[in-house]
Amino acid sequence: MAKKKQKLVIPFSEIGIRKFKNVNEAVDYFKSNLDIDARETYILFQNSFNISVGKWSINVSNLQDLNEAEFCNKLSEMFKNQSGEAIDKLVQLFSVERKEWMNKFKD
């Protein structure tokens, strides 16, 4: 008799939530597989994909797949109302934070 292949369950943790590209996918998955309330999933998603620098914070769920140059250009667009020096400093600081965020769970 053949063994039934077990379905891999994504854990409800920061590591698990990072497997999703958007919050709606995560909410659907965790509600149907682990019966976790949508609000809890939203909170975990927000906390897992936010990076902060000083008074600024951004959600990197849509920015995580960009290369360094694309990420810097996107940040420059986001902070276009700031002075040139402030934009350069924010881009530099967010780039460092993003690298740390991306490497947080790498082996």
The DSSP output letter for 58 is E
pLDDT at 99 over 90: yes
Answer for the pair 17, 26: CB distance below 8 angstroms, yes or no: yes
| Residue at 97: amino acid letter | E
Q: How confident is the model at residue 21 (pLDDT cuts 50, 70, 90)?
A: confident
pLDDT at 23 over 90: yes
Q: Can you give the pLDDT at residue 105?
A: 81
pLDDT at 10 over 90: yes
Domain boundaries, given as residue ranges, for the chain:
14-103
Can you give 20-71 as a three-state secondary structure string? Answer: CCCHHHHHHHHHHHHCCCHHHHHHHHHHHHEEEECCEEEECCCCCCCCHHHH
pLDDT of residue 84: 82
Instruction: Please state the pTM of the whole predicted model.
Output: 0.80
